[in-house]
Amino acid sequence: MSRWRVEQLHADFQLGLKADKVLYDSETDHQRLVVFENRTFGRVLTLDSVVQTTEKDEFIYHEMLAHLPILAHGAAKKVLIVGGGDGGMLEEVLKHAGVEKVTQVEIDAGVIDFSKQYLPSICKQAYDDPRLDLVIADGADFVANCTERYDVAIVDSTDPLGPGEVLFTDTFYGKAKTCLAPGGILVTQNGVPFLQGGELTNTMRAFKALFADAACYLATVPTYAGGPMAFGWGCDDPARRQVDQETLERRYEAAGIETRYYNPAVHRGAFALPNYIKELIP
């Protein structure tokens, strides 16, 4: 029998998804994992009752956090992913043949094992790729002691609750910057500004203190309800964000990747912000 799963991430707004069949429901040492099937969105993953990803719309989030900074950089060989245990971000990053190494730091090994079994359409064979260096550790601890330098760092975190809360602090962002090679790019997920404006404001304040070029860009993900989602951008080379569309087209074609949301025109346009979001940026 179907029943509704209701996300209560926001005080005055709820998201409800019908669970046609619950496939998995269990507690790990860090959080409660649930996977259920929904006729429209396919398999849905929730952590502590908050929607993390779905089979049908995951491509939007993962493509925009992976391909945009990699193609903006133009020569990324080493990529760091903090979080992303469902494997969707890793799968997108590994589409780039020029990427020689991906270090993924995930606090909860249970999420990875479970994703391989219940969300194979999202992670595919990413966890078998020899370019992967998988580290099971707290992301904040990892960046605080990081000795390698990465061309792109992607923070694929949960919302700032529970294990993910520390990944939204000024201290974490400062340590994450030290993991970047010269000209490296840091991107983060920063929630839905219409409902989580303070999250974006705090991140942008920290980024402006840390980076020569700090900005955010947008994408609309249906199950991240309440408006477009914001992604933070930090880099000490302002030219990375100003790459022209013709150059992006050449890089995109050379990469030979297939995407359903990302394209160079979307890349350029994603940095155009409506006024209510501009007002949130200090």
Q: What is the pLDDT of residues 17-74, one digit of tens each?
A: 999 999 988 887 777 889 999 999 999 999 888 899 999 999 999 999 999 999 999 9
Contact status, residue 151 vs residue 199, Cβ threshold 8 Å: no
Is pLDDT at 149 greater than 90 in this prediction? yes
Q: Which of 219, 191, 192, 223 is nearest to 41 (CA)?
A: 223
The pLDDT score that the predictor gives to residue 169 is: 72
The pLDDT score that the predictor gives to residue 31 is: 76
Q: What are phi and psi of 75, to 5 degrees?
A: -150, 40
C-alpha–C-alpha distance, residues 18 and 35, integer Å: 12
Q: What is the pLDDT of residues 233-275, one digit of tens each?
A: 999 999 999 999 999 999 999 999 999 999 999 999 999 999 9
Sequence ranges of the domains in the chain: 3-54, 58-278
- Mean of the pLDDT values across residues 216-234? 95
Q: Determine if the pTM surpasses 0.85.
A: yes
Is pLDDT at 161 greater than 50 in this prediction? no
The pLDDT score that the predictor gives to residue 2 is: 59
What is the three-class DSSP state of 18?
Answer: strand
User: Residue 233 forms beta bridges with which residues?
Assistant: 187, 215
What is the three-class DSSP state of 121?
Answer: helix
User: Distances in Å between the alpha carbon of 23 and those of 27, 75, 103, 106, 119?
Assistant: 14, 41, 30, 23, 11
**What does the longest C-alpha to C-alpha distance in the chain come to?**
55
User: Residue 81 forms beta bridges with which residues?
Assistant: 104, 154
The pLDDT score that the predictor gives to residue 108 is: 86
Tell me which CATH homologous superfamily contains domain 3-54. Answer: Spermidine synthase, tetramerisation domain (2.30.140.10)
Catalytic pick among 48, 86, 151, 156? 156
Q: What is the pLDDT of residues 163-203, one digit of tens each?
A: 444 555 778 899 999 999 999 999 999 999 999 999 999 99
Q: What are the E-state strand segments in 190-271?
A: 213-219, 229-235
Tokens of 172: 């974490």
CATH architecture, domain defined by 58-278: 3-Layer(aba) Sandwich (3.40)
User: Residue 96: which residues within 8 A CB-CB, separation 6 or more?
Assistant: 67, 70, 76, 255, 257
Q: Which of 236, 105, 99 is nearest to 178 (CA)?
A: 236
The pLDDT score that the predictor gives to residue 163 is: 45
156 annotated active-site: yes
Is pLDDT at 11 greater than 90 in this prediction? no
- Mean of the pLDDT values across residues 94-100? 98
Q: Which of 1, 50, 44, 52 is nearest to 23 (CA)?
A: 44
C-alpha–C-alpha distance, residues 104 and 9, integer Å: 26
pLDDT band at 160 (very low <50, low <70, confident <90, very high): very low
Is pLDDT at 137 greater than 80 in this prediction? yes
